[in-house]
Amino acid sequence: MAFFSSPIFFNLHLFITIFLSFSGIDPVSGCFTSIFSFGDSLTDTGNFLYIDNTSNIGNFPYGETYFHHPTGRCSDGRVLVDFIAQAFGLPLLPPYLACSDGQDLRQGANFAVAGATAIDAAFFEERKIGGVVANISLGNQISWFKGLLPALCDSPSGCRKFLRGSLFLVGEIGINDYFYLFSNGSSLEVIRTYVPQVVSSIGSAVHTLIEHGAMTLVVPGGLPLGCFASILTIAASSNKDDYNNETGCLKRWNELLQYHNDLLQIELDRMRDLHPHATIIYADYYNTVLRVYRSPLQFGFSKGALSACCGMGGPYNCDPSFLCGTHEAQVICNDPSLHWNWDGGHPTEAGHRLIADSLINGPFAFPPITSPCDLSLASHLKHPQCPAKTQSF
């Protein structure tokens, strides 16, 4: 962090440095004043649990490692946006849907919701594709953000000045779109035809955020879905040629995500041409994570990467009928930090730390994250107030 060279700021900087050393992420230079996060379960910090307080993610052992109680995060502890916030010396992002009147959101908010899709729910409803939760898509999240702005800043120009010092994390999102299609009987060939629409939805969100003043945006690509214990379970094949010999992952599922990432990078190049004043950073989550599946021991995951820490049944300890957080599920790991996979669809806290570290310290962010430093931003902020949310779920 960049601070004035006074004893107060020096001591604060020293405190943050010592604190972050225990979290496993080195503090970084820069002074983002806020972070706004959008996406799905990889970055949700409690929005879905606000919508459905009976969800299995609201039960122990979720949250056991860091918070020591469930928080709505799909992890045993923190998720990657938590590590990003801590690295920039900012508080953990509150879930937007759970905000209360007068809550201070001037340092950021999290709009990500577990299960969210890039494409609006109406698309799936028209095709009679079930399981999709309405009103939580990326488009809905962008609308929530737009609705929050009048409560944060006093004018459009003031909002733009404020948002110049904000970091926007747009995703990862899109995996749920493909998962819902597959769960309702679509083949991978058919799913592939929808990838351009998924990517277009992400590009539209980036465009809207920039139009409203965002200047620094991180847009992650999709993870290697063919390595997820949940996909390895529900899409299991008797043909050994369907699996990668080095990783044990399903090749065609990973090829689908590579195609998604290729189109996403083309779309981001288009956004850069439209908005040359903005910094649009592509975060290569795919290759960040693929390294772990190739060599889990190299990254400290001595118990491997494919099997779920929390779950039940099958070769990957992952059965959709016995989800982590239900009475039937079992925790097979005494130390989650030695495992990459938490519940079949999400990394452990240690896995999230690795992704965040690769994004912040490289080499998997293109271009690297840089931060403005404008200490006059506070003069454009209003008294914090969480606006009324009238949308039903």
Q: What one-character DSSP code corresponds to residue 363? A: S
Domain positions in the chain:
33-380
Dihedral sign, Cα of residue 129, residue 131, residue 134, residue 137: negative
pLDDT digits (tens, 9 = 90+) for 134-162: 999 999 999 999 999 998 988 888 899 99
Cα separation, 271 vs 279, in Å, equals 10
Is 346 assigned a catalytic role? yes
Token duo for residue 184: 């309702």
Pairing of the two strands 279-283 and 310-311: unpaired
The residues facing 166 across adjacent strands are 34
- Given the residues 76, 343, 357, 358, the one annotated as active site: 343
- Select the CATH number that applies to the domain covering 33-380 from these four: 3.30.413.10, 3.30.930.10, 2.30.130.10, 3.40.50.1110: 3.40.50.1110
pLDDT digits (tens, 9 = 90+) for 71-85: 999 999 999 999 999
Cα separation, 46 vs 49, in Å, equals 5
Helix%, strand%, coil% for the chain, nearest 5:
40, 10, 50
Is 343 assigned a catalytic role? yes
- Given the residues 23, 34, 41, 201, the one annotated as active site: 41
- Given the residues 260, 339, 346, 352, the one annotated as active site: 346
To the question of pTM greater than 0.75 for the whole model, the response is yes
Cα separation, 149 vs 113, in Å, equals 19
Is 242 assigned a catalytic role? no
pLDDT digits (tens, 9 = 90+) for 316-341: 999 999 999 999 998 999 999 999 99
Task: Give the burial class of 375: count Cβ atoms within 10 A of its Cβ; 0-12 exposed, 13-18 middle, 19 or more buried.
Answer: exposed
What is the mean predicted confidence (pLDDT) over 201-223? 97
Cα separation, 235 vs 229, in Å, equals 10
